[in-house]
Amino acid sequence: MTPNQPGQIHRLPIAGVKNLIAVGSGKGGVGKTTIAVNLAVALASLGYKTGLMDADVYGPNVPLMMGINRTPMAFGERIQPLEQYGVRLMSMGFLNPGDKPLVWRGPMLHSVIQQFLRGVDWGDLDYLIIDLPPGTGDVQLSLIQTAPITGAIVVTTPSDVSLEDARKAVSMFRQVRVPVLGIVENMSYLDCPHCHQRVDVFSYGGGRRTADEMQVPFLAELPLDPQVRIGGDTGSPIALRKGEGEPFLELARSTVERTADAARQEGPEIEIGE
Smallest distance, Å, CB 90 to ligand ATP?
A: 16
Contact between 61 and ligand ATP per CB under 6 A? yes
Smallest distance, Å, CB 12 to ligand ATP?
A: 27
Contact between 55 and ligand ATP per CB under 6 A? no
User: From start to end of 55-149, where are the E strands?
Assistant: 74-75, 78-79, 82-84, 87-90, 125-131
Binding-site size for ligand ATP (CB under 6 A) equals 21
Contact between 33 and ligand ATP per CB under 6 A? yes
Contact between 38 and ligand ATP per CB under 6 A? no
- Binding flags for ligand ATP, 154-193, as an x/- string (CB under 6 A): --------------------------------xx------
Q: Identify the residue among 9, 21, 32, 94 touching ligand ATP (CB under 6 A).
A: 32
Contact between 134 and ligand ATP per CB under 6 A? yes
DSSP assignment string, 27-60: STTSSHHHHHHHHHHHHHHTT--EEEEE--SSS-
Contact between 31 and ligand ATP per CB under 6 A? yes
Antiparallel, parallel or unpaired: β 87-90 and 82-84: antiparallel
Antiparallel, parallel or unpaired: β 218-222 and 180-186: parallel
Q: Identify the residue among 232, 248, 254, 271 touching ligand ATP (CB under 6 A).
A: 232
CB nearer ligand ATP, residue 144 or residue 222? 222
The whole-angstrom separation of Cα 110 and Cα 228 is 32
Q: Are 264 and 151 in contact (CB under 8 A)?
A: no
Q: Of residues 26-55, which lie at the interface with Mg ion (CB under 5 A)? A: 32-33
Q: Identify the residue among 126, 225, 261, 266 touching ligand ATP (CB under 6 A).
A: 225
Q: What backbone torsions phi and psi does residue 51 show, to the nearest 5 degrees?
A: -125, 160
Contact between 229 and ligand ATP per CB under 6 A? yes
Kindly report the CA angle at 260 between 256 and 263, in degrees rounded to 5? 135
Q: Identify the residue among 180, 222, 239, 262 touching ligand ATP (CB under 6 A).
A: 222
User: From start to end of the chain, where are the E strands?
Assistant: 17-24, 50-54, 74-75, 78-79, 82-84, 87-90, 125-131, 151-156, 180-186, 190-191, 198-199, 218-222
CB nearer Mg ion, residue 30 or residue 262? 30
Which residues contribute to the site for ligand ATP (CB under 6 A)? 25, 28-34, 56, 59, 61, 133-134, 186-187, 222, 224-225, 228-229, 232
Which residues contribute to the site for Mg ion (CB under 5 A)? 32-33
